[in-house]
Structure 1
Amino acid sequence: MSTPVWTTLVDCEELHTALGRPEVVVVDCRFALPDPDAGEAAWQRSHVPGARYAHLDRDLSGPHAPGKGRHPWPSASAFADTLAGWGVDADHQVVAYDDGDGAFAARLWCLLRAAGFARVAVLDGGWARWQALGLPVTGDQPVPAPVVVRSLSWRMPPLEAAGVQAHLASGGLLVDARAGERFRGEVEPIDRVAGHVPGAVNRPYAQNLRDGRFKPAAELRREFESLLGARGAGEMVAMCGSGVTACHHLLAMAHAGLEGARLYGGSWSGWIEDPARPVATGA
């Protein structure tokens, strides 16, 4: 069997055939915002064989800093240590999954891509589809083979608020991945201020999915090209509440062959940390 190369999405059936190969590393990213320990507890009970666990707060985020929002981007050195603990280096094929719509797994995908990893993918349909297909699960926790901690740097780090303001001023596109009612400021269940960044447009990340899986690449390409208009993919910045679900857009675009969009790391929760920044409501 040839070495698998998956760079955006992988089907459950394809991953199943590759399980146990030393170059394939699976990472369970299940997480629940209301109960931060629930995902890890679920992983301890049952997971895809060999899967390491990635905790959104502990492994896929860094400590809070001004303007960085609820889930700050981790430092390169901290993320390198996390990868070493999982036994992951650039020679591995990484597959991430969660039990929702792929947003937490997409955060890991985005981190690895920003660090220069090419062979990283999200399991299409995630844990729900894996179970629905009756594929093997286990409660055994893997003992990763140690790897040397390699120097790691962010090749495409997230933008900060000043960069987003400059992006908008130059005619760039800012796409907010939150649900429409949050974007419009009608409800705000998480952050202290409701609304959106003036000049942003709304595309809820759930629009990338159909029946729990990503839409076909050609369909996603048409939808994002309609959103971009005359702009190229590199002229788009994605944001959300804290820089997590926006990664879903970057993954969907890459799957559609539209590379180069950036992430606003602090997103809405970082934007509103400065009360002097303007807030818009409505469509």
Structure 2
Amino acid sequence: MVDVASADWLSAHLGDVRVVDVRDGWEFDGIGHLPNAVSIPFDEFRSAEGDVGMLPGSDVWSELLSNAGISADDDIVAYDDMHGVFAARFLVTALLYGHDPTNLHLLDGDFSAWTREYETTTEASDVPDATYEVSDPSASPLVDFETVEAALDDSETVIVDTRDAAEFEEGHLPGAVNLDWRELVDDETRGLKSRDDLDAILEPAGITPDRRIVLYCNTARRISHTYVVLSHLGYEHVEFYEGSLTEWEARDGALVEG
């Protein structure tokens, strides 16, 4: 499954992986980036006109990664400067277009965390020739409106809203529990909290590895981070509602306030 890689691990494996920076292009060029990193800004792989929900479309994805010198069998480490939430979206997108999840890694922390101990550069990275071939994933976590609607009455399923508490109060799916994705991040280190701390947050909410977990937010960005974290922790039954509240409200799905 998709995992979370430490800065120490990445530093030791920079020559063996493809590093993807999903910050804006001006940040990549002007502020600097990790050695050997390539720039694929978030806006370039996020589209409302894609083939599934907010995905960019397989042709767009293939062209983006080919131009970045990435092949379908490469190990990829992605990062941003927002605790990993945008980078996680990149990794989930790769997963949904058939990339082997064992070759997908989120940098623990982000660009700011990396700069505390390791060097950055403004030099352009060498980009090898590559043709990225999209494929169907061996197993997809995506679920649709009807599946989520049916899950509302399933006592073995936990519907998880990863937005903040104020958004949750304004309206959420019936029976959903609120887990702001930022609760899993340590503000000081900018990386994930310890396993013990994560378990202490997840278990009281009923979010445990033995249960079926269905994630949603507004546009499937924030759930990407939570999906990667739960995958990293070994959760095997995590589902991803790509349409999230954007689709749910458009189709008059039931909402509860308070």
Provide closer, same or farther for how the CA distance between residues 12 and 56 of structure 1 changes in structure 2, counting only shifts above 3 A. same
Which of these residues, 42, 54, 63, is aligned with residue 27 of structure 2?
42
Q: CA deviation at 1:218?
A: 4.3
Query: Does residue 79 of the first structure (1) align with residue 85 of the second (2)?
Result: no
AA of the residue aligned to 1:149: Y
Q: CA deviation at 1:157?
A: 5.0
Maintained 8 Å contact 2:51/2:57? no
1:107-186 to structure 2, matched below 5 A, reads 107-114=89-96, 115-117=98-100, 118-133=102-117, 135-154=118-137, 155-156=139-140, 158-171=142-155, 172-185=157-170
Provide closer, same or farther for how the CA distance between residues 270 and 140 of structure 1 changes in structure 2, counting only shifts above 3 A. farther
Maintained 8 Å contact 2:141/2:238? no
Which of these residues, 42, 52, 55, is aligned with residue 38 of structure 2?
52
Residue by residue, what CA displacement relative to the aligned partner does 1:113-151 show, whole Å, maximum 9, x if unpaired? Answer: 332422111111111111122x22122233421222324
Provide closer, same or farther for how the CA distance between residues 170 and 96 of structure 1 changes in structure 2, counting only shifts above 3 A. same
Q: CA deviation at 1:48?
A: 0.8
Question: Which residue in the other structure is 1:189 paired with?
Answer: none
Maintained 8 Å contact 1:159/1:264? yes
Give secondary structure in 2 for the equivalent of 1:83. helix
Maintained 8 Å contact 2:18/2:37? yes
Question: Which residue in the other structure is 1:62 paired with?
Answer: 47
Query: Does residue 206 of the first structure (1) align with residue 182 of the second (2)?
Result: yes
Deviates more, 1:263-272 or 1:218-227: 218-227
Provide closer, same or farther for how the CA distance between residues 229 and 41 of structure 1 changes in structure 2, counting only shifts above 3 A. closer
AA of the residue aligned to 1:138: T
* Runs (4+) off by over 6 Å: none
Provide closer, same or farther for how the CA distance between residues 77 and 166 of structure 1 changes in structure 2, counting only shifts above 3 A. farther
Provide closer, same or farther for how the CA distance between residues 231 and 50 of structure 1 changes in structure 2, counting only shifts above 3 A. closer
Provide closer, same or farther for how the CA distance between residues 141 and 66 of structure 1 changes in structure 2, counting only shifts above 3 A. closer
Seq. identity, %: 24
Aligned length: 251
Give secondary structure in 2 for the equivalent of 1:236. strand
Maintained 8 Å contact 2:168/2:178? yes
Q: CA deviation at 1:62?
A: 3.1
1: distance between equivalents of 2:68 and 2:60? 13
Provide closer, same or farther for how the CA distance between residues 15 and 146 of structure 1 changes in structure 2, counting only shifts above 3 A. same
Gaps of 5+ in 2: none
Residue by residue, what CA displacement relative to the aligned partner does 1:84-128 show, whole Å, maximum 9, x if unpaired? Answer: 222222332211111111111111222233324221111111111
AA of the residue aligned to 2:75: Q
